[in-house]
Amino acid sequence: MSGITSDRLRAAYLTARDALLAERVPAGHWVGELSTSALSTATAVMALHLVNPFEHRDLIDRGTRWLADHQNPDGGWGDTVKSLSNISTTMLCRAALALTGAEKEYPAVVEKVEDYITSCAGKTPERRAAAIRRRYGKDHTFSVPILMTCALAKLIPWHEVPRLPFELACLPQSWYRFAKMPVVSYALPALIAIGQCVHAHRRSANPVRNVVRWLAKRLSLKVLRRIQPTSGGYLEATPLTSFVTMALASIRRRRSAAEQRVIDEGVRFLVRSVRSDGSWPIDTNLATWVTTLSVNALAAAGDLDSLDTKEAILAWLLGQQYRERHPYTGADPGGWAWTDLPGGVPDCDDTPGAILALYHFGYAYHPLYSVRWVVRLQNANGGWPTFCRGWGTLPFDRSGSDLTAHALRSLSVWAKRFENDQKGWAGKPEDKYRFLLAVKSLTWKQYYGLIARGLGYLAREQRPDGSWLPLWFGNQHAPDDINPVYGTSRVLAAYRDLELTSKQECKRGVDYLLAVQNDDGGWGGAKGCPSSVEETALAVEVLLDLAPGEEAGRGLVWLMEAVESGRFRDPSPIGFYFAKLWYFEKLYPLIFTVAALGRTARKDNGHKEA
């Protein structure tokens, strides 16, 4: 490959690896750093204002000042400081300026934002509310909280805010997926708090419904308090916690002890989460997720020996597994969440990631229930969802191609462990029973059935151009904010790991990646999108195994140049937190670069030895 020498490749890899290793915290694992968010900052200052504008004056003023200082040139705001303006975040920032009285201090900011909103949504409150609803369609997870906030700021009338049936939260948890919730599974706190807020400001014309909601008020608040984590932050997320806090604080009534505690704990979380510049991040951290990604990247490079904190990471990772049924989603024991903080929820991206990391560490047996947890989450369509099986009516509850590929890769590790056991036990004698209990919760017949159904789902989800779409990642420069390069790269990694590279679906996926490579040698989220470190590294990692030709070589050169120039440290906003809420993570470009360059350097070294 032109421009690539073993020494240059090795030097670039070591630079990226050392940068990643330097990001560990003193305990030995990774925590990362999520992007600051205009949306989070706007919702946080409004929540604090509605609770007590005098006690929290300093935080409110610093937050609104940050918003004024970070307005985009077009007058709007995006979710991150690198994001394009969008109507949702811009309306929330406009509401924050109105509700807190800050619009008097920043008249030029208000003038610019009004021009932006008028240009993309119209001048009347009704047209602006319609623009919010149009962005999210039938999914009320994010549209109703935004509209509620705008109504509290008197930017739109209350009749523009759809009601939420908070009484459904009183049903047994196992019934939720049958209740046709208008919000996704992880938005139960919003359903309860915002549903009660809208009901208080806009009663139904149906007297029976009003009676039902009056009866459900206290019981649903008890559910809200029961699922609130000890940190006070629902999902460790500033926006969700802020929406819940402001919704309850805006209702002028005598509060129950449960309701007041939810507000107090939400405020405590917000006060502790603020950053030194007066802004708030989208979430506290992705510690478990970035740690397993980092371990698996170093494993791809064959360089786990560079981890001098291996034992500490292993102990920490085992400590993050949920050993009891989760109170929020009702998830079975055995899974992992994205964070080590109490607001996390076990999911089917972090759990496969943890299983793979433990396998690469040479852990003697699968932690009890981990494989079973993944198996039981498979949907009837053969794919895997994020949190809950059977919730398929709204976008972020459905099966996802990237999630399914990750689950299949973790199950392939189970198969390797099982085969090793069949050849003879090599671990400690006292560990053998636990190992057998874990792996034999799945038979070979079940395993092949799960794999076949998962592959069938992926075959059906492949688009005519050969690509797959991910669920939790996007690209703001691509049509409809999609990111087929991320999705396709992740699915192809599963075909590679399952040794199914001869399948037509795999070949078509490879052809897609080769077809959308940019002229500069890198990849963006889709054809014509600006090249990024994350997307280029993901594409290079799989192509150098599946199509090691000139195109992959050009991508590798692009990536090495990014390391040599220092650009590999520049993260892009490719992550969706929930409901099209963008974020970027400081460690993503480092991790993906280590995986791509390390895997290539390992192959290069292997060829030399051969």
CATH code of the domain in which 213 resides: 1.50.10.20
- Note whether 602 and 561 are same-domain residues: yes
Q: Report pLDDT digits (tens) over 85-131.
A: 999 999 999 999 999 999 999 999 999 999 999 999 999 999 999 99
Of 225, 249, 280, the position where a domain reaches its end is 280
**pTM of the predicted protein model:** 0.93
- Note whether 428 and 544 are same-domain residues: no
SS3 of residue 347 by DSSP: strand
- Note whether 551 and 423 are same-domain residues: no
Q: Report pLDDT digits (tens) over 55-83.
A: 999 999 999 999 999 999 999 999 999 99
Q: Is residue 310 part of a domain?
A: no
Q: Decide if pLDDT at 608 tops 60.
A: no
Q: In terms of Cα–Cα distance, which of 378, 338, 375, 371 is closest to 356?
A: 371
Domain boundaries, position 392 = 320-461
What is the Cα Rg of the chain in Å? 25
- Note whether 30 and 50 are same-domain residues: no
Q: Is residue 576 part of a domain?
A: yes
Calculate the CA 431 to chain-centre distance: 35
- Mean pLDDT across the stretch 373-401? 87
- Mean pLDDT across the stretch 267-281? 98
- Note whether 419 and 469 are same-domain residues: no
- Note whether 385 and 484 are same-domain residues: no
- Note whether 19 and 41 are same-domain residues: no
The whole-number pLDDT of residue 202 equals: 85
- Note whether 20 and 119 are same-domain residues: no
- Note whether 27 and 41 are same-domain residues: no
Q: In terms of Cα–Cα distance, which of 156, 125, 243 is closest to 578?
A: 243
Q: Please give the tally of structural domains in the chain.
A: 3
Q: Which helix (H) or strand (E) holds 452?
A: helix 444-461
Q: Is residue 285 part of a domain?
A: no
Of 259, 280, 301, the position where a domain reaches its end is 280
Q: Decide if pLDDT at 609 tops 50.
A: no
The whole-number pLDDT of residue 328 equals: 80
Q: Decide if pLDDT at 435 tops 60.
A: no
- Note whether 46 and 13 are same-domain residues: no
Q: Report pLDDT digits (tens) over 137-175.
A: 877 788 999 999 999 999 999 999 998 888 887 777 666
Q: What are the Cα distances from residue 537, in Å, to 300, 497, 556, 597, 598?
A: 13, 18, 8, 8, 11
Q: Report pLDDT digits (tens) over 448-504.
A: 899 999 999 999 999 999 999 999 999 999 999 999 999 999 999 999 999 999 999
Q: Decide if pLDDT at 537 tops 50.
A: yes
b/e code 400-423 from CB counts within 10 Å (16+ = b): bbbbbbbbbbbbbbbbebbeebee
Q: Decide if pLDDT at 316 tops 60.
A: yes
Q: Is residue 311 part of a domain?
A: no
The whole-number pLDDT of residue 367 equals: 63
- Note whether 21 and 49 are same-domain residues: no
Q: Report pLDDT digits (tens) over 320-355.
A: 999 998 888 888 899 999 999 999 999 999 999 999
- Mean pLDDT across the stretch 537-565? 96
Q: Is residue 293 part of a domain?
A: no
For residue 330, give the amino acid letter.
G
Residues β-bridged to residue 549: none
CB 328 within 8 A of CB 345: yes
- Note whether 448 and 560 are same-domain residues: no
Q: Is residue 312 part of a domain?
A: no
Q: Is residue 238 part of a domain?
A: yes
Q: Decide if pLDDT at 236 tops 90.
A: yes
Of 461, 479, 513, the position where a domain reaches its end is 461
Long-range CB contacts (within 8 A, 24+) of 358-362:
358/314, 358/317, 358/318, 359/413, 359/416, 359/417, 360/295, 360/296, 360/299, 360/304, 361/295, 361/304, 361/310, 361/313, 361/314
Q: Is residue 292 part of a domain?
A: no
Residue spans of beta strands (DSSP E) within 75-193: none
